[in-house]
Structure 1
């Protein structure tokens, strides 16, 4: 990544319906356009988790129009940071990329009450990531 380029982050979880979608939504919102954001899953669901959509709306972020996307090698190649969401995803490894695995509870099948603490942890991690990426550039 050159100094003139925006850093880019790819969030990956199996279904791209909960954790990775929430992380991407926070990074888009809190990053204020300073970081390129992608999210994907190795086996994308048909839609985003409704409890995740509700939990994010409570924090002022609308992700109701988001759709799960399939993980591609190109998405990994085009990202500076690849963050998997504690789901043991097989993700292509390329030299020079930064990889992190965020161990987070899976919100699948849970109500909004159970999703809120996951959302809050994701927000804290994304805030720290933004600080780290923007001070590094």
Structure 2
């Protein structure tokens, strides 16, 4: 068996999906192939997302938002959409999950504080997923 693979998707591929990919690379190292993409990619990674990850030793400042590739969706083991807006059509043979991540701005929390809360929510989910993926390896 090959190592597991996961694609994280959000709309712009500048925040949540980039955060998830960076956190998964840190949690799983080379044990998991990690990708991220957007359904309508933005121009750059969100600066506050990148700053919040640097605080926990993850650097996504060199990443670039990328359009979702239908072939990659077919090739990976798992597609995780983050938030309520991103939509990816299901493909036979690929597992799909949606992480309805917290949105602190709905409670009036913005800026770096918002990103830290989003980061911590995603990090908890990443830790659980990384553990699951490690147990499914040969």
Q: Give me the TM-score of the superposition, normalised by structure 1.
A: 0.91
**Post-superposition offset of 1:88:** 3.2
Whole-angstrom CA distance in 2 between matches of 1:130 and 1:30: 7
**Post-superposition offset of 1:106:** 5.3
Identify which of 77, 96, 103 aligns with 2:93: 96
Identify which of 3, 7, 11 aligns with 1:10: 7
Whole-angstrom CA distance in 2 between matches of 1:114 and 1:107: 6
Does 2:47 align with 1:47? no
**Post-superposition offset of 1:97:** 1.4
Select the structure that is richer in helix: 2
Stretches of 4+ moved more than 3 A in 1? Answer: 105-108
- The answer for the alignment partner of 2:131 in structure 1 is 131
Whole-angstrom CA distance in 1 between matches of 2:122 and 2:66: 19
Whole-angstrom CA distance in 1 between matches of 2:72 and 2:103: 23
Q: Would the alpha carbon gap of residues 107 and 20 (structure 1) be closer, same or farther in structure 2, given more than 3 Å must change?
A: farther
**Post-superposition offset of 1:83:** 0.3
Whole-angstrom CA distance in 2 between matches of 1:29 and 1:49: 19
Contact 1:18–1:107 (CA<8 Å) still a contact in 2? no
Q: Would the alpha carbon gap of residues 41 and 106 (structure 1) be closer, same or farther in structure 2, given more than 3 Å must change?
A: farther
Identify which of 63, 71, 75 aligns with 1:74: 71
Whole-angstrom CA distance in 2 between matches of 1:107 and 1:79: 30
Does 2:120 align with 1:120? yes
Unaligned runs of 5+ in 1: none
Question: In the TM superposition, what whole-angstrom CA distance separates every residue of 1:41-65 from its partner, at most 9, and x where no partner exists?
Answer: 0100000000001000011111111
Whole-angstrom CA distance in 1 between matches of 2:69 and 2:114: 30
Which secondary structure state, in structure 1, belongs to the residue aligned with residue 41 of structure 2? coil
Residues paired across the two proteins, number: 133
